A and B are shown apart, each in its own frame.
Chain A
Amino acid sequence: MVVDMDRCTGCQACVVACQAENNIPINTETIFLQRRVIEWIWVERYWEGEYPHVRARYIPLLCQQCDNAPCEPVCPVYATYHNDQGLNVQVYNRCVGTRYCANNCPYHARFFNFWQPVWPETLRHHLNPDVTVRWRGIMEKCTFCIQRIRRVQREAARDGRTLQDGDITPACAQACPTDALVFGDILDPQSRVAQLAKNKRAYKVIEDLGTGPNVIYLKKVDPYAPAADHDHKH
């Protein structure tokens, strides 16, 4: 996935689209007060500077689907593993809730179900039947909407089509009004993500840790940035 921070406005359409697609428990006021909010993709806002030269910087963050994922080796029950397409998969029915993976994730992209998720009976009608509802004591995170990936792959196989760039879209990228989020096959040199990854603004978040993240960010452009802001070189 490529995230263009110069397009992102922080509107959080992606956040609610993800909650709708992936049966994420309702974040009640109590949950907020406990700081146990679950948002597989979330928009982080950081303040910079002092009034009147204040900047608010937005960054959408999600599981980076690392090649060398710190969450994987620490799981004692092999609940998080790497599949053959490079995704970090969380197997809910293996997870025993040690939370070692969350401890080890430098992006803080893993969320733990401290409580049994509760929906009023009627709201259960809109739950997505393609996605498991996670139990109390289970770790969860962004899956790149694996159910959508599988659905498209299956339908393509059934119809004898080859997949085209843009066929598979996670819920967040599908909702994003500004096209800040783009999803595709980085190994296909013709794909939009591969093209965008060549942009001179491209970087990966804290990649010096050696995690090998698979989400590529494009720098925010700020021609009027205060003098304190300078290009961060890698």
Chain B
Amino acid sequence: MGITRRDLLKLAGVGALGAIAFNGCRIPDRELRVESPVALPEDQVTGRDNWYATLCVQCGAGCGVLARVVEGRARKIEGNPDHPLNEGKTCARGQAAVQALYHPDRLLSPLLHGQAVDWETAMAELAGQIQQNRGRVLLATNPLRGHNALVAQTFIQSIGGTLLAYEPLEDTVLRTAVKGLFGQDTLPDYDIARARTVFSFGAGWLETWGSPVRWGRAYGAFRQGRPGQRGLFFHAEPRFSLTAANADLWLPVRPGMEGVLALAVAYVLVERGMAHPPAAAQLTGGQGLGALTAYQPERVAAAVGIPAERIREVAEVFGSQRPSLALVGGSALAHTNGLFNARAVLSLNALVDNIGREGGIRFNPPPPAGWTGVPPAPFARWRQALEEMRAGRVGLLIVRGANLIYGLPVDRGEVEEALTQVPFRVVIGPIADDMAPYGDLVLPELEALEAWGTDWPEPGPGYQTVTFQQPVVRPFRDGKAFGDILLEAGKAAGLTLPWQSMREAVQDGARRLFALRRGAVRAADEEGFFMGVLQRGGWWDPQATGQGRFTGERLPATPPAPQFAGDAQEFPFHLVPFTPLGIHDGRGAHLPWLQGLPDGTTTVAWQTWVEVNPDTARRLGLLEGEWVEVISPRGSLRALVYVHPAIPPEVVAIPVGFGHQGMGRWANGRGANVFSILAPLTDQETGAFAWAATRVRLRRTGQRQRIPKFEGVVRPVQLEERPIILVTKEA
């Protein structure tokens, strides 16, 4: 470790200069004894640790975590056991927050036209630009919630401009469907733990979809938390994902046909008299089975790729083993008929009468007053924003966490052209990502573990929850928090903003919660309350639940057929992109723990692979580790073949998140970017990016290498004559 006991005492005496004065940092004298030279590992004990509750920002779920701080350094992330969302648990991505904090390639100082400058110069420049460009500012961010959202909105309102959030795999379709069917602006919670049957369509709820740690908690209880009652799980997805691998039955539905499959299930429910009558009447316009004729399992089996008897089998279970729950997400929504798929699947919930009930869909209330969110804008809106930039209507572009050049399915040149029409561009981030080269001004942002903030998780746990984010260590690099940059520059530009700093904004938020006089933190005064929410990690009120009802209308008599980019003759394969467990949609690509995390089904790490069915591979003469060119109507990329025993013959799958230009040593130039070959199709109704609607062909390159994967690192111990994984049919 290079730290001797004497050093340790010195350090401990000084204490860590965290945002909060440490106490009890000295090792009590009774614990100091002479180290023996034959010390065993079990004898090793060093300094005291401090734990701080804060927020995890490694994905959009918004879990509460505890950071272990020793000697002024954040060492380890654990789940916050008090937090209602994740109840003390974390995922692999959450653990990696400490690697983001201490990443060796973090920006060291602001850059103005590529030259290092001090913060004073940088902020003066930014303030000047804000003053000059009132009314012509575009603030492009990642989806925001809590005080980051509030500060960004306040800033944009006072200056006159546009705030748009960007996420490569946006959730616009799901939000639109939830709003249309339940009249809700916030995403609902799913009571998986108490359901008896879960049927999910494309939603990778055990991987990266929604609130994976929360769903993971629920999954354990769903399977083995109720003596004598084990939940059954069916999963329909064109790709065999980790979630599919955990299902009791996996239905390899054809891409874009998820909605038709769901309505074939609905047909069986109505036919067998299992459907909740009012909902059935609503969805069929009072016509009953006649309105669903087009979805009879025998009629649609070939089109959806699932045998009719299998559809009937799962529908019977889904209708009889209640409470049952239908989920939709992932590639099921990323088609030109995405909204139809979403509505069809979510309507199943009404047919099994689980709306607002135990084991069903539970509605989340809107967050407390003062908490807002900026959900991602649909791709169609971003195309419009590019137009505005190209037309010179944007004078100042401020980018934070919106990697447009990387993720938008339009040619790089087109985005570049739009960006260069903007007179001044600011890029804010902890590390120089793909957007940094386009920044006239690049500002180093603090990492989450160094900054103040709040969040309300979405989907939440079914009641009002606010998570507080506090700095757990002194800033490791000379950066500023995103909110502080806006507030300080805005103030210098003469804007009147209600807060001086993010800390003040967060404290103001705590004051609002204190005034409610309810919830999980009580205190005699505001100061005590603020300390209380920081210590607990947040505030929640299990009494403040959400309300909602099913307002679905008649289903279309004939389903809208999904459209695909690329002719089926010329491009024989459906390309299904997916978010890998570790690097997610690319936001974790700079962290070695996540790059080095073996994929959930292929165990590949560090490189972009393409999953090919064994028969397809034989037909094309492809072997594992072969470099192939994956060619779409829009472009091509190179990937390593992984012969995947469980992918349908007409589908190939490639992980997203690789192929960055920038983002530090572990991400830069590593692998290939799938977004660069996806066609810019959109969902017909919402304008959301249909990222699973591109067809491709494969071309051999003749080059081959060993594939970096975990499989085979440990010699196989699962032998025919001596299995290590034992299976029983009885729960």
A27 at the interface (CB under 8 A from B): yes
Q: Is the CB of A59 within 8 A of B581?
A: no
Given known contacts A13-B90, A29-B607, A126-B98, A219 and B213 CB-to-CB distance under 8 angstroms: no
Within 8 A of B (CB), among A26-55: 26-29, 32-33, 35-37, 39, 42-47, 50-52, 54-55
| Option from A9, A27, A206 in Cβ contact (under 8 Å) with B605 | A27
| Option from B90, B207, B706, B718 in Cβ contact (under 8 Å) with A175 | B90
Interface centre among B42, B71, B648, B716 (most CB of A within 10 A): B42
| Option from B223, B711, B729 in Cβ contact (under 8 Å) with A45 | B711
Q: Is the CB of B593 within 8 A of A20?
A: yes
Chain B residues closer than 8 Å to A151, beta-carbon distance: 45
| Option from A90, A129, A150 in Cβ contact (under 8 Å) with B71 | A129
Chain B residues closer than 8 Å to A36, beta-carbon distance: 713
Chain B contact residues, majority secondary structure: loop
| Option from B41, B70, B594 in Cβ contact (under 8 Å) with A129 | B70
Q: Is the CB of A59 within 8 A of B724?
A: yes
A-B residue pair count with CB separations less than 8 angstroms: 291
A135 at the interface (CB under 8 A from B): no
Chain B residues closer than 8 Å to A20, beta-carbon distance: 76-77, 95-96, 98, 593
Within 8 A of B (CB), among A152-209: 154, 171, 174-180, 201, 203, 205-206, 208
Residue of A nearest to B39 (CB): A93
Chain A residues closer than 8 Å to B727, beta-carbon distance: 57, 219-222, 225, 229, 231-232
Residue of A nearest to B313 (CB): A224
| Option from B89, B223, B607, B706 in Cβ contact (under 8 Å) with A13 | B89
Q: Is the CB of A44 within 8 A of B731?
A: no
Chain B residues closer than 8 Å to A221, beta-carbon distance: 223, 230, 727-731
Count B interface residues, CB 8 Å. 103
Given known contacts A54-B646, A147-B45, A223-B731, A178 and B713 CB-to-CB distance under 8 angstroms: no
Chain B min CB distance to A11 (Å)? 6
Q: Is the CB of B88 within 8 A of A28?
A: no
B197 at the interface (CB under 8 A from A): no
Chain A residues closer than 8 Å to B243, beta-carbon distance: 9
| Option from B43, B70, B206 in Cβ contact (under 8 Å) with A9 | B206
Given known contacts A11-B207, A29-B605, A46-B725, A51 and B3 CB-to-CB distance under 8 angstroms: no
Could you name 27 residue pairs across A and B whose Cβ atoms are closer than 8 Å? A4-B220, A9-B216, A9-B219, A10-B242, A13-B216, A16-B96, A20-B76, A26-B593, A28-B592, A33-B708, A83-B42, A90-B41, A91-B41, A108-B715, A108-B717, A130-B44, A131-B41, A150-B43, A150-B44, A171-B76, A175-B91, A176-B89, A177-B217, A178-B219, A219-B726, A231-B727, A231-B728
Nearest 6 A/B pairs, CB to CB? A177-B216, A178-B220, A32-B708, A56-B245, A54-B646, A120-B104
Interface residues of A (CB under 8 A from B): 4-7, 9-13, 15-17, 19-21, 26-29, 32-33, 35-37, 39, 42-47, 50-52, 54-59, 61, 83, 87, 89-93, 106-108, 120-133, 143, 146-147, 149-151, 154, 171, 174-180, 201, 203, 205-206, 208, 217, 219-225, 229, 231-232
